[in-house]
Amino acid sequence: MKEIEASGRTLEEALQIAAQQLGVSLDALEYEIIEEGSRGFLGLGQTPTVIKARVKESEVQATEPERSYEVVHSSEQQPEIPADEDMPQEPQAQEETPAEAESATAQHPEDDTELLVDTILRTVREIIEPMKVNARPELKSVTHEEIVVDLVGPEVAILIGKRGQTLDALQYLVGVIVNRRVRCRRRIILDAENYRVRHQEMLVRKAKEYAKAVKEQGKEAVLEPQCARDRRIIHLALADDPDVYTYSEGEGDERHVVISPKKK
């Protein structure tokens, strides 16, 4: 059985790299940690996480069955996150004058959900197919505010990319194209292997670890640069902590979160 070693800044990153090298999904991996990485305090003294990974013996190559989707009418959504001042916005329709809005509403009282879903799935397929990646889009859920699409298949880890950057880029591109093709008032979310939830849980856990160190040492923790969405998750995770506060600083790709102790 083929076995490889992979390393990354986090266990999650090491697993993604291993999955890409083996050409399988994360669920098809079994692994053991050879060396547990350390982030270090204030970004210093960081060591990578090293794992030994292989494909599960029980894993069989089979096409996953088509998933049905449900229209969710309740508020089963991710918690609202306070906006970072430079948070990039999803593509929005141009502002309409009252007359234009009234005319548009008369012609399209609401989004055509079936047309919108078909357009999103078709757009994702059109982007993925030229990449020659063994993955496909499947509808996960629909609400009045957002439509979530899962990317599934044995090579889906490639579409997640390092720290989800490829997935974020695909999501943005799909949003731009779909908004040009059909009337869309909902957020379009792309996910893969439950990455969005797992990544958020990891960020919250790390944020609390840093906050604990800040309280113990009474010094600021300067985190590594992150995308706006990740910074917002960290801001929210520590918003109710009475002993620390957070803020963002830096420009462009170097923008990052700082966790600072509150003065008594």
Q: Domain ranges for the chain, please list them.
A: 3-55, 70-76+108-193, 196-261
**How would you list the strands of the sheet with 70-71, edge to edge?**
70-71, 136-142, 146-152, 187-191
Report the alpha-carbon distance of residue 113 to residue 239 in Å, rounded: 36
Q: Is the pTM of this model over 0.85?
A: no
Query: According to the model, what pLDDT value does residue 89 have?
Result: 40
The CATH architecture that domain 70-76+108-193 belongs to is 2-Layer Sandwich (3.30)
Query: What pLDDT does residue 190 have?
Result: 94
Q: Which two tokens stand for residue 170?
A: 């695909």
Residues comprising the chain, all counted: 264
Calpha distance 249→252 (Å, rounded): 10
Q: Does domain 196-261 have CATH number 3.20.20.70?
A: no
Give me the CATH topology for the region 3-55. Answer: Defensin A-like (3.30.30)
For every one of its 264 residues, what pLDDT tens digit does the chain have, with 9 covering 90 and above? 677 877 777 777 778 777 777 778 787 888 888 777 665 544 444 567 778 888 887 664 443 444 443 333 333 344 444 444 444 344 343 334 444 444 444 444 456 889 999 999 999 999 999 989 899 999 999 988 889 999 999 988 889 888 788 998 999 999 999 998 998 888 899 999 888 888 889 999 999 999 999 999 999 999 988 888 889 999 999 999 999 999 988 888 888 999 999 876
pLDDT at 4: 81
- For residues 148 and 189, is the Cβ–Cβ distance under 8 A? yes
For residue 11, the number of C-alpha atoms closer than 13 Å in the C-beta half-sphere is: 12
